[in-house]
Structure 1
Amino acid sequence: MDKLAVRGDAEIEEIEAMLLAAPEEEYMSPKQLAFFRQRLRDEEQTLLSAVKETAGHLQEAEPSADWSDRASTEEEHTLELRVRDRERKLLQKIREALRRIDDGSYGWCEETGEPIGMARLLARSTASLCLEAQERREQNKRRFGG
């Protein structure tokens, strides 16, 4: 069970408000890192449960003699596999974020070395770039088709 979810929405909102109100010199303090470590672990467990559920559902499917049923089942499987691939990529990002917590680089932009920002990390705990660096990367992808 998610340890943060056990606390309840009101308590989590209060913790998040405290994180947002913390002075700059407390950025990525041990308490803040512990909060994000737990949040990432909770997200990881939720994803692992979803992956197991998806895998079980794919294995349970029985083949059908009717071609339209088979086509429908194939379409469902394709969609589930796409979702599972997204989950796998997110799981990889979560594990990378946990490694950054361990090596002390979590919360700091990989490109600029500047703080990513508490609001951004609360919105996307796997963020590795500050907003400006992320926007530049997305502009370059659009411009150069990457």
Structure 2
Amino acid sequence: MTNSTIAESTPFNFKPYEESKGEEYMNEAQKAHFRAVLTNWKNDLMREVDRTVDHMRDDAANYPDPNDRASQESEFSLELRTRDRERKLLKKINDALAMIDTDDYGYCESCGIEIGVRRLEARPTADQCIDCKTLDEIREKQMG
């Protein structure tokens, strides 16, 4: 994956939200900001899917040399694994967009407190506050 591909598949190419003093959490401006971030990220991922399909269709060849065939299959396999991870991410993005519509976005699914604008800027699909996420990771580490 090239650096340009990485940059295109992450939501970090946006202007951070400027909070005003005393601003209400998850007001219409914040929701509009995060909707735009998530929608742009989703569109970038969908463009990458289209590029992969085009690349695999255009570059697929039946090389007579087994090493060339193996290299191509390995490349395609890596691309497909990346797209599969992005498919799961697309589901999280769609879930986050749906949460914006129901006014549940930005609140921890576990304890209900505010996740925070800065955490959402770093991870727009976050559905837990940092404390609950940390506890989940500790439990996961202890169990596995």
TM-score (norm 1): 0.84
What's 1:50 paired with? 48
Q: Distance in 2 between matches of 1:22 and 1:100?
A: 25
Identity %: 42
- Verify: 1:111 aligned to 2:110, yes or no: yes
Aligned length: 131
1:38 corresponds, among 5, 13, 36, to: 36
- The secondary structure found in structure 2 opposite 1:98 is helix
- The secondary structure found in structure 1 opposite 2:61 is coil
What's 2:138 paired with? 139
Show CA shifts across 1:40-72 (max 9, x none). 111110000001111111222112110000110
Structure 1 gap segments, 5+ residues each: 1-8
Q: Distance in 1 between matches of 2:143 and 2:91?
A: 26
Structure having the larger proportion of residues in helix: 1
Query: Which 4+ runs in 1 deviate beyond 2 A?
Result: none
Q: Distance in 1 between matches of 2:57 and 2:82?
A: 16
Q: Distance in 1 between matches of 2:27 and 2:40?
A: 20
Structure 1 residues 86 and 143: CA distance shift in structure 2, 3 A:
same
Once the 2 structures are TM-superposed, how far is the Cα of residue 116 of structure 1 from its aligned partner?
0.3
Show CA shifts across 1:55-110 (max 9, x none). 11122211211000011011101110111011111111100000000111000000
Structure 2 gap segments, 5+ residues each: 1-12
- Verify: 1:62 aligned to 2:65, yes or no: no
What's 1:12 paired with? 15
- The secondary structure found in structure 2 opposite 1:12 is coil
Show CA shifts across 1:12-37 (max 9, x none). 24xx2x23x543x5100011101111
TM-score (norm 2): 0.85
Q: Distance in 1 between matches of 2:21 and 2:49?
A: 36
Q: Distance in 1 between matches of 2:15 and 2:114?
A: 22
- Verify: 1:102 aligned to 2:101, yes or no: yes
